[in-house]
């Protein structure tokens, strides 16, 4: 296979203009195949990027991007003086930290345990079960938690009452929003998250375990000295991706949990952009908020990648 690919690669020194033209003509059907997809990316991904310029305008829908008045950095200045902006900034950051601290290690631990199983059927059964929630929508996940957590007739509160404690209003409290949020994330995603780690573990040479055992390593030390180092680079890549996602905490998920009572801890960038922009019609201002968010996300992923490379890892790009 590899020598075939060498054959078909064009020789570099003969890359003249006419040869290039020949190749374009020969591949014209391939371009036809790519075009519909390319149009999609241009229209629904790149034109919205161009649309970010309305954050420097006083955008009026009837005037459009070309006709609206330019206002410079006004919306960004307003944003940095808006106390609500700093609340959502903090909320977004806290949810991100919860994700890194409480969610991120769970799939790794779960994968380490699954990897220790010798009975194939048991391993497969557990895997099939823990993957399922990933396929449920956030509406379903949040709905299931609502019927279980509600104060009238919810099983959790019934149990709390049965043991003689006071019922807790999980769904409308500022104290419980974050724990409920992260438990839902773990429940839905942890099983699915093991796939990639398990694949990395499957590639480890069994001789390494053999050697570790001869050196007297017990099972725990084998995990510590063989399995974990072997999946180190996968962990780092996924961590970078997660950091890049810092501001993408799942609009749907948070939006579904958000209510008037928990807003002060639950409002994040996306939900704020939605309410301020689409529901209150402040197009330019909320585009500025979204722009800030996208920009910070890009910077963070670049920084994380740079750090990973500095520590001798491959990084994601």
Partner 1 sequence: MVEDRSIASRLFDGFIYVVLILVALITLIPFIHVLAGSFTTTAELARRGFVLFPTEWSLTAYRYIFSTDTIFKGLANSMGITLFGTMFSMFITSLMAYGLSRRDLDGRRTIMFLVVFTMLFSGGLIPTFLVVKEVGLIDSYLALIVPFTINAFNLIILRNFFQNLPEGLEESAKIDGCNDFGIFFRIVLPLSMPAIATISLFYAVTYWNTYLPAILYLNDTNKWPVQIILRQIVIVATGLSFDDSGFEDAALPPSQSVKMAAIIVATVPILCVYPFLQKHFAKGALLGSIKG
Which positions from 22 through 81 interact with partner 1, judged by CB under 8 A?
A: 23-24, 27, 29-31, 33-34, 36-38, 40-41, 43-52, 54, 61
Of 63, 93, 101, 199, the residue at the interface with partner 1 (CB under 8 A) is 199
d(CA 101, CA 89): 18
Non-local CB neighbours of 283 within 8 Å, separated by 6+ positions: 54, 59, 61, 277
CB 126 within 8 A of CB 114: yes
Looking at residues 138 to 197 of the shown chain, list those that interact with partner 1 (rule: CB under 8 A). Answer: 138-140, 142-148, 150, 153-155, 158-159, 162, 171-172, 187, 191, 195-196
Give the binding range for partner 1 (CB under 8 A) out of 68-76, 81-89, 91-99, 206-214: 206-214
Number of residues that bind partner 1 (CB under 8 A): 114
Write down the least CB distance from residue 273 to partner 1, Å.
Answer: 5
Of 130, 235, 243, 249, the residue at the interface with partner 1 (CB under 8 A) is 130
Q: Helix/strand/coil (H, E, C) string of 244-257?
A: HCCCCCCHHHHHHH
In the structure encoding, which two tokens stand for residue 213, read together?
């055992």
Looking at residues 210 to 269 of the shown chain, list those that interact with partner 1 (rule: CB under 8 A). Answer: 210, 213, 218-220, 234, 237, 244, 251-252, 255-256, 258-260, 263
Alpha helices in 72-176 (DSSP H): 74-81, 83-98, 105-116, 120-131, 138-149, 155-162
Three-state SS for 114?
helix
Determine if 84 is a binding residue for partner 1 (CB under 8 A).
no
Looking at residues 264 to 293 of the shown chain, list those that interact with partner 1 (rule: CB under 8 A). Answer: 270-271, 273-275, 277-279, 283, 286-287, 290-291, 293
The DSSP string of 156-173 is: HHHHHHHTTPPP--GGG-
In the structure encoding, which two tokens stand for residue 207, read together?
């001789």
Determine if 12 is a binding residue for partner 1 (CB under 8 A).
no
């Amino acid at each position: 296979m590899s020598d075939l690919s060498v054959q078909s690669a064009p020789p570099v020194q003969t890359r003249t203009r006419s040869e290039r033209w020949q190749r374009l003509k020969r591949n014209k059907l391939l371009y036809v195949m790519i075009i519909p997809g390319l149009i999609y990316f241009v229209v629904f991904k790149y034109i919205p990027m161009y649309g970010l310029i309305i954050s420097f305008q006083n955008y009026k829908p009837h005037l459009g991007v070309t006709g609206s008045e330019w206002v410079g950095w006004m919306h960004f200045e307003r944003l940095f003086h808006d106390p609500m902006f700093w609340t959502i900034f903090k909320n977004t950051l806290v949810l991100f930290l919860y994700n890194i601290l409480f969610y991120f290690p769970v799939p790794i631990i779960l994968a380490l345990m699954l990897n220790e199983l010798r009975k194939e059927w048991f391993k497969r059964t557990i895997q099939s079960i823990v993957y399922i929630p990933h396929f449920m929508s956030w509406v379903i996940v949040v709905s299931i938690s609502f019927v279980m957590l509600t104060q009238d007739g919810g099983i959790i509160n019934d149990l709390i009452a049965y043991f003689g404690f006071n019922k807790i209003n999980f769904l409308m409290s500022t104290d419980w929003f974050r724990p409920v949020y992260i438990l839902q994330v773990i429940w839905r995603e942890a099983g699915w998250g093991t796939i990639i780690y398990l694949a990395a573990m499957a590639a480890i040479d069994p001789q390494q375990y053999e050697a570790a055992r001869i050196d007297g390593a017990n099972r725990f030390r084998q995990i510590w000295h063989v399995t974990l180092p072997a999946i180190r680079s996968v962990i780092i890549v996924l961590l970078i991706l997660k950091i890049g996602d810092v501001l993408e905490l799942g609009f749907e998920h948070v939006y579904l949990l958000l209510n008037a009572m928990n807003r002060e801890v639950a409002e994040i960038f996306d939900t704020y952009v939605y309410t301020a922009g689409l529901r209150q019609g402040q197009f330019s201002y909320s585009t500025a908020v979204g722009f800030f968010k996208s920009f910070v996300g890009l910077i963070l992923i670049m920084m994380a990648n740079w750090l990973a490379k500095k520590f001798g890892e491959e990084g994601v790009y």
